[in-house]
Amino acid sequence: MFEKEINEIDEFFINENTGKIYRGLLAALEKPLISKFLLYTRGNQLQTAKILGINRNTLRGKIKKLGIGR
């Protein structure tokens, strides 16, 4: 899906962010992704969790940790 973008990541970025890339990308994408699907499901956490392929309790923890809906 994002193969082109991943292939365009240059060596400088990799060298400067070694050990931080996965967590950094996850942090940047997780909140807007969860927020988008909560809007799509009109706040239905069970349906959002199902769409995302995660457990509802995991979703609830992420919502709290990320401060979504405050």
Kindly list the domain boundaries of the chain, sorted by start residue. 3-66
Q: From first to last of its 70 residues, what are the pLDDT tens digits of the chain?
A: 778 877 777 776 777 778 887 888 888 899 999 999 999 999 999 999 999 999 999 999 999 999 998 6
Query: Which CATH code is given to the segment(s) 3-66?
Result: 1.10.10.60
Stated pTM of the model: 0.73
Query: Distance (Å, rounded) from C-alpha 61 to C-alpha 70?
Result: 14
pLDDT for position 18: 81
pLDDT for position 42: 97
Q: What Å distances lie between residue 53 and 11, 21, 23, 47, CA to CA?
A: 32, 22, 19, 10
pLDDT for position 66: 93
